[in-house]
Structure 1
């Protein structure tokens, strides 16, 4: 089954310094029928104005992934980690037994747009951990490029959950097929452009799809498209 969530179905909040779009219940947005999808608990599409950000705040027992689409995002935490990430970079934080962190836009001129994803961990009580990785955006071209996985490598961030996040740039007229084991789920989010799934399901910019009981999906680009695909439990 493939269920489409148009971009208009997201909850949006404009704080002036921050424009947020929530795909799941988060903060002051609560929908008991939209709390999570498998282990995916949060998918926020955030735009933060220059020299603004989220002050120091706590997290625990959550795997938190930040994916920068445009601009710069700076992370600092109570473990002494500090890093700036741009497009082509991933920030992954295992909150574990508890950590404080902040995220803000260090640029004085440019807005930052990033996704923040939260996943329920596959084990609790781990030591807090922060990791920054980079990938080569050119390898996204007509390819599903893994950027986060429980099977980590030099350019793939590790996560304490049976999840793989792929990024892709798909040229007009091209298609990709993703196959997975029965019983798993897929979440697809269109960043730019528009695509068709399995020849008959159309998604435009910022639309998403949640797939269950599907062992494969064919993704076709109707225009040059950039999207994110999550293979998860």
Structure 2
């Protein structure tokens, strides 16, 4: 029988640093909840807003797959590998931190906030060579369907990471029911609602709600017009 965990938007941890407003689905920084450490290999799901011209200075990472998805505005990235890039809506960025790197992120625009998701996934291989990638995706040309933006296959659609994980985004302009089959036994799915209303496994979800489901082979998603969601399939054992 499928197992389900529901995280309503207003139960997330939060931090307001003035220039940074962040909501944490899982324990992060000063927010600690022993019942919300991770969902399988999914360790961090932060919903961030950074004021114009502000950002995070140089800081280190290692042995983590770090994914950023821009929602609004422009996020500038610089790292110790020499990459300089701007991430905008319709783009996903990934860093395999591996043996270690430094990077910084800041709002490229001075007069408006940038909003983005930062996601950490435990890798299935440690101490790899650090790497960076960034890809575009197009939801408007593929409305009412799941668009793959990440996988473990470097020849597949979207970016790739060192983990048997698959991410999809979807944007709906009509009422729609989708069925999604998991790629691997032992994986689970975490759904994060970006906008609107969806129903998954009999649970009604609204904006910024999250739902994890595992011990199942397929899931059914019912979306209302105007809904947007992020679907993350990850191994449950790490």
What's the TM-score bracket when you normalise by the shorter of the two chains?
over 0.9
User: How far apart are residue 214 of structure 1 and its match?
Assistant: 1.9
In structure 2, which of residues 116, 124, 127 is the aligned counterpart of residue 125 of structure 1?
A: 127
Q: 1:36 to 1:47 in 2, by over 3 A?
A: same
Whole-Å separation in 2 of the counterparts to 1:154 and 1:50: 35
Whole-Å separation in 2 of the counterparts to 1:131 and 1:121: 16
Give the TM-score taking structure 1 as reference length: 0.96
CA shift digits 1:90-129 (9 cap, x unpaired): 1100100010000110101121110000011110111111
Whole-Å separation in 2 of the counterparts to 1:50 and 1:142: 33
User: Which position in structure 1 is the counterpart of 2:186?
Assistant: 183
Q: Do 2:144 and 2:174's aligned partners in 1 also have CA atoms closer than 8 Å? A: no
User: How far apart are residue 140 of structure 1 and its match?
Assistant: 4.0
User: Which position in structure 1 is the counterpart of 2:33?
Assistant: 31
Whole-Å separation in 1 of the counterparts to 2:204 and 2:173: 16
Structure 2: where are the runs of 5+ without partners? none
User: Which position in structure 2 is the counterpart of 1:195?
Assistant: 198
Whole-Å separation in 2 of the counterparts to 1:147 and 1:111: 24
Corresponding position: 1:21 with 2:23: yes
Q: Do 2:42 and 2:122's aligned partners in 1 also have CA atoms closer than 8 Å? A: yes
User: How far apart are residue 152 of structure 1 and its match?
Assistant: 3.0
User: How far apart are residue 154 of structure 1 and its match?
Assistant: 6.9
User: Which position in structure 1 is the counterpart of 2:95?
Assistant: 93
Q: 1:62 to 1:90 in 2, by over 3 A?
A: same
User: Which position in structure 2 is the counterpart of 1:10?
Assistant: 12
Q: 1:152 to 1:138 in 2, by over 3 A?
A: farther
In structure 2, which of residues 103, 106, 122 is the aligned counterpart of residue 104 of structure 1?
A: 106
Q: Which structure 2 residues correspond to residues 72-87 of structure 1 after superposition, within 5 A?
A: 72-87=74-89
